[in-house]
Structure 1
């Protein structure tokens, strides 16, 4: 049994059921290995300090991939179906590139004032490889603050200078890095802070380097398989991406009676998508990651998704809860009660601030029942996470906090003593600089008051350690976005940009801190010298922030109708949801939407906090009462409730198709074709992502960027076709109409 199989069988990433007894490991200073079994089978207990790491190869490849991934992921972030090139893709592609450089670069040793170095110090090492991956991993997601810049330009007509947006993006991305340095002694060095996801990354790097020189003995090599699958996807993606986009959403049930409103709402791709078949890997993989997510976690997602999407939402909608029949069954937009789009300019004064007189004259904001219920599910997920962690992981957390306090060390901490630690003043100076720049940014360019910045950072700092402990132990990260929106929504109602800015500093800074800590833990496991890791993370964070904002600015300035239905495929569904949230929580404020002011229509949604707290308690008590009922141990309410957290902007058929694909790969093939699954499953996911991303880039820059469009036909509908169904991508136009057939 290989390491990955042991990890998958013995380690439950989502329920954090460890096969160890923490009480037996309180004293382990003299052990020659980690006290954690999952770490022992994954991470070697030896190190070679002589392996090259701070090399020209590492920096050149790391910076190259940082630029590429930052651009590609930000570029595809605005698409109707978001594409994201994953961490594993870079890990796979950078390996042959590193080995190629090791063969061709000169080995001559240079001497600059006593500093001796070589462009090619020997074979490409695993430490160089990990550093390249880390530079990409800590910034592979798009910068959250970029959406604020887009909102100001496209929705609020209050565009700031580029430097203002740049400072906003840089500070929100990097302040978390400075915080990570302050908590690394609690979350990185202690053995019991294991950070489960890093074990998977470490296993990937070890597997890639262990195959060097390995004989495949009749089996296709991993690299050849990767190239074949990626090449096949590159060719295939021309169909859904350009020639035949209709196959990306085949709403075949709707075609039986496309004029039937209810049938279209239930089966259309822009509705609930029941029966919709997606032959577009971007739609299948965008939210579920079906080849990577463990099957038991996908089952929890499936149950939560089906319960909300196929049961709760239709009952609410067709019983006209909150007059929801006036709106589409699922939509990221906001409306007036009569179903027309909500124009925020009618409730804001000339300074862009909420005006109560204008609001009373114009009318309260309305949203479809799915959108409102998704907020309720989010409320429930937040309280369920807290209760679940206390009930199921409370003892582990307390034990590990105690372990951190006593500063017990395992073999990995002792091996890391060889390398000089990063001085605390490096992190302290970085924190001081980023906070100072944050003050300048918020005050000079009027993003929010100075006291709001202090409060947002205080929330982030207060929660970072407890949330980090939860994530390090359970692999779950309770989100603070609802908390931050609530707080500033009540303290500073009527200010939309201030609301989203506060959320970014209070929520994203916390997330960034923990993302950096996770990478530091990977470096700890793989014995990466801390000072080189510090520089690699910091440099890549700065570069990726600049590229994220530059890419978004370029697209906005060059793409007509950006972030509108006419700008397809750049419809910006994620940003549209972000905008709607800025109206709900910022411009209008939670008191008028979910509170008691003006008889808020959606006030009952707040009961979800209580429901979310009760559900884990009920099932925990049942598990205690009936310990032999096996399935009760796998009910994970935070995962169940978080299943629909991305709906909208995601569409239901993304989930249904992704989960079906997951059933094939994560369940059927893993159970009945384990040899193939163990060797090729993760490579398949990485190859499909790579081929699709490369194909989409070629399609855009070679054709779409020059307005070379595919001729219209049944498989590539013309949106301006007077026959609405013929002009819809899935030929089911009524999927986005309201109950009365009105196209909104």
Structure 2
């Protein structure tokens, strides 16, 4: 408490020494001179102060520091069960006191370097510095997608490539999209009607944090104090599910009635459908639902989709033995050989020394099989893809067209006029970056044999063709239709039998598009917050490149130091997402969609391709019903893209993670928002950030203090010996097949 009082006294003295605004430099406008878009008008300030510092030593220092921390932490937890991602909110909250501290203690002396005058401390820590720090870290919130390619080729395909090959692959797939963004920024950044709704939330967060500096917090707990209390409490608590008592994260209590009953175990076990399972582990609860930050409307759609698929469709398909699924667990991303004596499908047995499918060996081993749930998720993925485009066309098509026309007709709004003060990034910067990254991509793919040169060209064409229409959809509706299925589907037919080429093509075609739009979204945030474009460009480029090195280095370090990593024996480093990525590489690449989903070799799963048609039809049906029955309000809230995407992360996500997330979501996103709005508006997002931070801190402490030294907490009921086959949830048959058997690995 004394520290908080000292901080407040120091803040008052600091604000007297460094006044927050300069009236002579501040650009102010009339109320009428504002954005034509209401959402932007009520969220984004139409005032700019060009004198605020932004390209400062402390911005670069803190930005790269948090980039390094976020990149390491998120890659670390990505490979560990209970995936936690530290995102924008956490960085925004933690960097604020750090920035003010540096503004307090750094010397104010002026330096002259090659004619450029600068200072370690140019004045108060500004909101522009803060936004740049946040965006430097946020661009790396999700781990680099291509790291999974390096992991699976090393662990699962036993293909050794030099570290520099993987590094070039990761960097080029993450950076090439930045060059593409330069060509579309004039369509998606400057036009007022390209609003990018997510940026309104982010801008609101930063403005509220800086506005709070002048608030009177006598009657309400300051946000910083609240954050520290919640984060500290979670950091202390997480020692239980993280080390001492992991069973409390998997309380499959219904299964304990009769653990030897296979059906009961499959329905209620945490590694089965998880009906009734209780998770007292924030890492599991928040992994996929995001219960505190996902709007309740979206959660309701997710709940409906989850129940329809996980609790109705899956049991029906499994227990009626669709695709012979009783020979396999009810939920798994593992692949198997066919028949009663099924073993795990060992892809190395059907590949030659170049990693290409040997058709004779494949015929001898037996056709690839997956459980009915995994097969159905692909059909649902097909449906979700077409449903997204059809839904947006029907429900948002008119709005998109109108905003696109407005974007073309309106050269500038108030925010564009304010941004005239700052020089734009020259087109040749983007062009030069594009040429360099394309050349490096070609060298990477051809020299290290990731895929043929023509495949890279085709992947780039797909990314370029879709980037503007997908960007318009995202800028208006906050939805981003994914290209992952299109890309792996296309190259699977063009280049069957090449697993690494398949995932490489998918990454260049899909992630280059995603990164381009991610950069455009950040440029739009800079547009709203009046961040000079050149500084935003350099900050993003440097931080993204820096994070690639850390992502890949962290993954390789874990692989080299953790025995049995990415296997069940390697718990808690099970790499659930990477295992799913590997299975996709086998299905779409090593074996190919012609054999799995097509007609070649009488493809067993060909029927799931009907998902494309079903997904296109469902939004049309409900749109027509909503027009015919306009008084039926619930019809207007049926959102098929969200509903179909509900189980898109299963596997690797497990059902109990969703069900527990919904309970927490009901409390925070619905009840507290409706009945305790003042508390919710002030502390809800802060609570989510604090809980994530507490888990991350303790998770790292557990690893470096205990696990990295091969230490372990003593075995007891709450900490079963998983290395000897014990089940953490005390439901040993939850991931067995219908006959209570476990598939064995096929020997090479």
1:545 aligns with 2:541: no
**SS of 1:643 mapped into structure 2:** helix
The alpha carbon displacement at 1:260 in A equals: 0.5
Q: For residues 400 and 450 of structure 1, what CA distance do their matches in structure 2 show?
A: 38
C-alpha distance in structure 2 between counterparts of 1:350 and 1:296, whole Å: 51
Does the Cα contact within 8 Å between 1:149 and 1:159 map onto a contact in 2?
Answer: no
Q: Give 1:651-666 correspondences, 5 Å limit.
A: 651-666=654-669
Is 1:733 paired with 2:736?
A: no
Match of 1:280 in 2: 281
1:575 to 578, 600, 608: 578
Q: CA deviation at 1:408?
A: 2.9
Q: Deviations over 1:587-613 (max 9, x none)?
A: 110010001111100000000111100
Which residue matches 1:140? 141
Contact 1:268 1:730 in 2 (8 A): yes
Q: Secondary structure at the match of 1:111?
A: strand
Structure 2 CA distance for aligned equivalents of residues 708 and 258 of structure 1: 30
| 1:417 and 2:414 aligned | no
Deviation at 1:404, TM superposition (A): 2.6
Match of 1:185 in 2: 186
Q: Pick from 547, 558, 561 the counterpart of residue 558 of structure 1.
A: 561
Determine the structure 2 residue equivalent to 1:516: 519
Q: Counterparts in 2 of 1:100-119, with a 5 A limit?
A: 100-119=101-120
Does structure 1 residue 352 correspond to structure 2 residue 351? no
Matched pairs, number:
712
Q: 1:94, CA displacement in angstroms? A: 0.2
**Residue equivalent to 2:468:** 465
1:545-598 alpha-carbon deviations (Å, 9 max, x no partner): 110001101111111111111111001110100000001000110010001111
Decide whether the 8 Å contact of 1:31 with 1:410 is kept in 2: no
Residue 690 of structure 1 is matched in structure 2 by 693
Distance 1:390 1:730 in 2: 45
Rounded Cα–Cα distance in structure 1 between residues aligned with 2:308 and 2:158: 40
Q: Compute the displacement of 1:347 (Å).
A: 1.4
1:638 to 625, 629, 641: 641
Answering whether residue 510 of structure 2 is matched by residue 499 of structure 1, we say no
* 1:31–1:411 contact (8 Å) kept in structure 2: no
Q: Does 2:255 correspond to 1:264?
A: no
Residues 285/30 of structure 1: CA separation in 2 closer, same or farther (3 Å cut): closer
Q: TM-score, normalised by structure 2?
A: 0.94
Cα distance in 2 for partners of 1:115, 1:526 equals 25
| Distance in 2 (alpha carbons) for counterparts of 1:157 and 1:288 | 34
Alignment correspondent of 1:161: 162
SS in 1 for 2:559: helix
- What is the distance in 1 between the residues matched to 2:36 and 2:411? 11
CA shift, 1:359, in A, is 1.3
SS in 2 for 1:405: helix
Partner of 1:23: none
* 1:674 equivalent in alignment to 2:673: no
Tell me the distance in 1 between the aligned counterparts of 2:157 and 2:114: 55
- Which segment drifts farther, 396-405 or 650-659? 396-405
CA offsets per residue over residues 453-499 of structure 1, 9 Å max, x none? 00000000000000000000110000000100111000000000000
Worse overlay, 237-246 or 217-226: 217-226
Q: Secondary structure at the match of 2:733?
A: helix
Q: Deviations over 1:390-430 (max 9, x none)?
A: 10111111122222323432110111011000000000000
SS of 1:599's partner is coil
CA contact (8 A) 1:593 1:601 kept: yes
Q: What residue number does 2:529 align with? A: 526
1:213 aligns with 2:211: no
Unaligned segments of structure 2, at least 5 residues: 1-29, 744-748
Q: Distance in 1 between matches of 2:538 and 2:251?
A: 48
The offset of 1:111, in angstroms, is: 2.1
* 1:196-595 → structure 2 map (5 Å cutoff): 196-338=197-339, 339-595=342-598
Q: Aligned partners of 2:433 and 2:184: how far apart in 1?
A: 15
User: In the superposition, relative to structure 1, how do residues 720 and 153 fare at CA in structure 2: closer, same or farther (>3 Å)?
Assistant: closer
Matched position secondary structure for 2:112: strand
| SS of 2:274 mapped into structure 1 | coil
Q: CA deviation at 1:720?
A: 4.6
Q: 2: CA distance between counterparts of 1:253 and 1:141? A: 35
Whether 2:742 is the aligned partner of 1:743: answer yes
Tell me the SS of whatever aligns to 1:392: helix
Deviation string, structure 1 residues 260-306 (Cα, Å, up to 9, x no partner)? 10000000000000000000000000001100011011000000011
Structure 1 counterpart SS, 2:641: helix
Summarize the alignment of residues 44-123 of structure 1 with structure 2, pairs less than 5 Å apart.
44-123=45-124
Which moves more between the two structures, 403-412 or 535-544?
Answer: 403-412
Per-residue displacement from partner, 1:58-80 (whole Å, max 9, x unpaired)?
01100100000001000110012
Q: Distance in 2 between matches of 1:186 and 1:115?
A: 34
Contact 2:569 2:723 in 1 (8 A): no
Compare 102-111 and 445-454 and name the one that shifted more. Answer: 102-111
> C-alpha deviations, 1:342-363, integer Å up to 9, x for none?
0112211222111111111111
Counterpart CA distance in 2 for 1:323 and 1:304 is 24
Structure 1 alignment gaps of length 5 or more: 1-28
- 113 and 336 in structure 1: CA distance in 2 versus 1, 3 angstrom threshold: closer
